[in-house]
């Protein structure tokens, strides 16, 4: 596998990301990738070459066909690189959730206080003063 810059560069192109998404489902021969992506065969081959050189895909010969599959190692490496950013995002979302809960509790408390002022329940039923 090559350096991180080539991984990011390879994944920067939307056609290559589409190919990676297809290969996430299962390994595929070039013909299926061409058909699914709607690209020409030469263009698809160029994209597959970039993905192969970045270490994102592997190719094997199956009779006359070339079958491409994802190589999970570079994806795992990207996932490890993204982990601290994901943790930062989760902390931000957790803080937002706590703030929304606090706001909701404050609003609920005011609403229930107001409701209890307006309607009170007397187990003896309504009373009238003469």
Task: Check residue 96 and give its pLDDT.
Answer: 87
Whether this model's pTM surpasses 0.75: no
* The 28-29 sheet, strands edge to edge: 28-29, 65-70, 57-62
In the predicted structure, residue 129 carries a pLDDT above the cut 90: no
Write out pLDDT tens, residues 22-31.
999 999 999 9
* 129 or 40, higher pLDDT: 40
Write out pLDDT tens, residues 47-91.
999 999 999 999 999 888 999 999 999 989 888 888 998 888 888
Can you tell me the mean pLDDT for 95-107? 86
Task: Check residue 90 and give its pLDDT.
Answer: 83
């Amino acid at each position: 596998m090559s350096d991180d810059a080539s991984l990011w560069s390879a994944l920067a192109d939307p056609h290559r990301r589409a190919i990676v998404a297809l290969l996430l489902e299962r390994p595929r021969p070039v013909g299926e990738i061409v058909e699914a992506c709607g690209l020409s065969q030469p263009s698809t081959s160029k994209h597959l070459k970039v993905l192969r050189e970045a270490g994102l895909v592997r190719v094997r010969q199956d009779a006359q066909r070339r079958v491409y599959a994802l190589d999970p190692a570079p994806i795992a490496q990207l996932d490890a690189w993204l982990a601290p950013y994901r943790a930062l995002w989760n902390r931000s979302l957790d803080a937002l959730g706590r703030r929304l809960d606090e706001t909701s509790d404050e609003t609920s408390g005011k609403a229930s206080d107001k409701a209890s002022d307006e309607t009170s329940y007397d187990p003896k039923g309504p009373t009238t003063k003469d």
